C-alpha cells in the first residue's frame, strides 16, 4: 500500500517530516517575481510561474533529505486555473525527484462526486479511451463528515493505484474543538469517532508496517489528543500539522509516533518556506535556508524519537 512507500522513504532518509508547499506570492524572492512578471505581466499566469519556480528551487534543495512534500491546494486555486496548473507541475516535478506527494485538498462529497475527486487527484482520467493523470499525487487529504459513501471511492482507487488518504480527525486550528471535541452519547468525542471510522475504512488497505492506506490528520497543537489517538487508532498513520509556525514543538509531535519511531509524518510549511527570515539571511538565500531548516527540523524530531526502525 501507498504508505509502505512513504514509510520506506522515511526509514531510508531517517526523516519523518514533510515539507508543506503553501506558497504565497509574498514568500517568493523579488528576483523570481520580477523575471516572471517581465515575461507574463502582473497576471495570474505570472504569479503561477513565480510559485512554480519557487517550489522547484525548494524541491531541488530538499529532495535528497526529505521524503515527502505537501502542496496545499488553496494557495494554488488562489491564482486561478493558472495556479492549479502550477500545482500539477509541482506534483509532477516532486514525484520525478522521488518524493512522495500529498495533495492537501481536504476534499469531500457524496459517493459519485467523490469518485470524480478520487480520479482527479489519485487516479487516471479516461478521455475517449486515453488514460491520463489529471494531478497524480500519491495521497490526498479528505474530510469524512459525509461518512462511508464519501470515502469508499477513494479506498477503491487507493487499492487499484497504490495510493493513500488522510482523513481529518483532530485538526490543528484553535477552534477545532468546537465540534470535534464535543462528546457523543456513546461516550466518544467527535474526533475519536472519526478516528475509529478511519480504523474501519483502512481494514481493506493493510500495509507491511501495520499501518493502513487510510491515515488521519491530527494536529501537534493538541498533544494530549495526539497521544490518545495514537493508542486508539493503532493502524492509522498520522499526518501531523501544527509544528513550528502554529506553535507545536518536537515534544508535542512525539506523541504521534509508535515505539519504533513510525506511525506519523510531521509537516512544516511556513517554517521551511520562510526559513531565510528566521536565519537572518536575505530572501535570495531562501532555498539554502529551507534545506538548513529541513535538517534542523529532522534533528529536532529525531532527538525525541530516536532512530526510526523498520
74 vs 310 by CB, closer to a copy of itself: 74
Q: How far is the CB of 292 from a copy of itself (least distance, A)?
A: 24
Among residue numbers 156 through 215, which ones bind a copy of itself (CB under 8 A)? Answer: 168, 171-180, 182-186, 190, 193-194, 197
Q: Cell 525525541 maps to which residue? A: 304
Among residue numbers 49 through 78, which ones bind a copy of itself (CB under 8 A)? Answer: 72, 74-75, 77-78
Q: How far is the CB of 126 from a copy of itself (least distance, A)?
A: 8
Region of 21-29, 59-67, 205-213, 249-257 interacting with a copy of itself (CB under 8 A): 21-29
The answer to whether 289 and 281 have CB atoms below 8 angstroms apart is: yes
Answer yes or no: 106 catalytic. yes
Q: How far is the CB of 11 from a copy of itself (least distance, A)?
A: 30
Q: Which of 143, 77, 78 lies closest to 113, judged by CA?
A: 143
Among residue numbers 247 through 306, which ones bind a copy of itself (CB under 8 A)? Answer: none
- How far is it, in rounded angstroms, from Cα 306 to Cα 259? 9
- How far is it, in rounded angstroms, from Cα 256 to Cα 246? 17
**Of positions 13, 35, 44, 97, contacts a copy of itself by CB under 8 A:** 44
Q: What is the 3-state secondary structure (H, E, C) of 259-309?
A: CCCCCEEEEECHHHHCHHHHCCCCHHHHHHHHHHHHHHHHHHHHHHHCCCC
Among residue numbers 213 through 232, which ones bind a copy of itself (CB under 8 A)? Answer: none
Q: Which of 23, 19, 79 lies closest to 51, judged by CA?
A: 23
Q: How many residues bind a copy of itself (CB under 8 A)?
A: 76
Strand 214-218 and strand 130-132: pairing? unpaired
Q: Which of 54, 84, 59, 56 lies closest to 69, judged by CA?
A: 59
Among residue numbers 75 through 134, which ones bind a copy of itself (CB under 8 A)? Answer: 75, 77-85, 87-88, 106-111, 113-114, 116-117, 119-121, 125-130, 132, 134
**Of positions 64, 149, 284, 299, contacts a copy of itself by CB under 8 A:** 149
Q: Which of 13, 56, 106, 159 is catalytic?
A: 106
Q: Give, in order, the Cα–Cα distances in Å from 153 to each of 36, 111, 289.
A: 39, 7, 40
Identify the helix (H) or strand (E) that includes residue 167: strand 164-170
Q: How far is the CB of 214 from a copy of itself (least distance, A)?
A: 15
The burial of 198, by beta-carbon neighbours within 10 Å (0-12 exposed, 13-18 middle, 19 or more buried), is given as buried
Q: How far is the CB of 60 from a copy of itself (least distance, A)?
A: 23
61 vs 221 by CB, closer to a copy of itself: 221
Q: How far is the CB of 168 from a copy of itself (least distance, A)?
A: 6
Answer yes or no whether residue 310 interacts with a copy of itself by CB under 8 A.
no
- Annotated catalytic sites, by residue? 106
Amino acid at each position: 500500500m501507498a504508505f509502505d512507500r512513504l514509510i520506506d522513504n522515511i526509514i531510508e532518509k531517517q526523516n519523518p517530516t514533510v515539507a508543506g508547499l503553501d506558497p504565497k506570492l509574498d514568500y517568493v524572492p523579488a528576483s523570481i517575481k520580477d523575471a516572471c512578471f517581465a515575461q507574463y505581466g502582473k497576471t495570474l499566469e505570472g504569479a503561477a510561474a513565480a510559485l512554480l519556480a519557487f517550489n522547484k528551487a525548494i524541491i531541488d534543495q530538499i529532495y535528497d533529505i526529505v521524503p515527502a512534500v505537501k502542496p496545499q491546494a488553496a494557495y494554488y486555486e488562489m491564482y486561478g486555473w493558472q495556479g492549479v496548473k502550477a500545482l500539477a507541475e509541482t506534483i509532477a516535478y516532486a514525484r520525478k525527484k522521488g518524493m512522495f506527494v500529498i495533495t492537501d485538498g481536504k476534499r469531500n462529497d457524496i459517493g459519485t462526486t467523490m469518485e470524480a475527486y478520487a480520479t482527479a487527484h489519485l487516479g487516471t482520467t479516461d478521455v475517449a479511451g486515453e488514460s491520463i493523470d489529471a494531478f497524480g499525487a500519491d495521497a490526498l487529504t479528505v474530510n469524512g463528515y459525509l461518512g462511508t459513501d464519501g470515502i469508499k471511492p477513494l479506498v477503491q482507487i487507493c487499492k487499484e493505484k497504490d495510493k493513500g488518504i488522510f482523513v481529518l480527525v483532530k485538526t490543528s486550528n484553535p477552534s477545532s474543538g468546537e465540534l470535534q471535541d464535543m462528546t457523543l452519547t456513546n461516550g466518544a468525542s467527535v474526533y475519536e469517532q472519526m478516528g475509529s471510522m478511519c480504523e474501519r475504512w483502512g481494514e481493506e488497505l493493510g500495509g507491511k508496517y501495520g499501518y493502513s492506506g487510510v491515515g488521519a490528520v491530527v494536529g501537534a497543537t493538541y498533544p494530549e489528543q495526539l497521544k490518545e489517538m495514537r493508542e486508539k487508532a493503532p493502524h492509522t498513520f498520522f499526518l501531523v500539522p501544527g509544528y513550528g509556525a502554529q506553535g507545536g514543538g518536537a515534544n508535542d509531535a512525539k506523541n504521534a509516533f509508535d515505539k519504533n519511531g513510525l506511525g506519523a509524518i510531521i509537516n512544516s510549511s511556513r517554517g521551511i518556506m520562510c526559513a531565510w527570515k528566521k536565519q537572518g539571511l536575505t530572501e535570495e538565500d531562501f532555498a539554502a535556508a529551507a534545506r538548513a531548516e529541513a535538517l534542523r527540523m529532522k534533528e529536532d524530531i529525531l532527538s525525541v524519537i530516536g532512530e526510526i526502525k523498520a
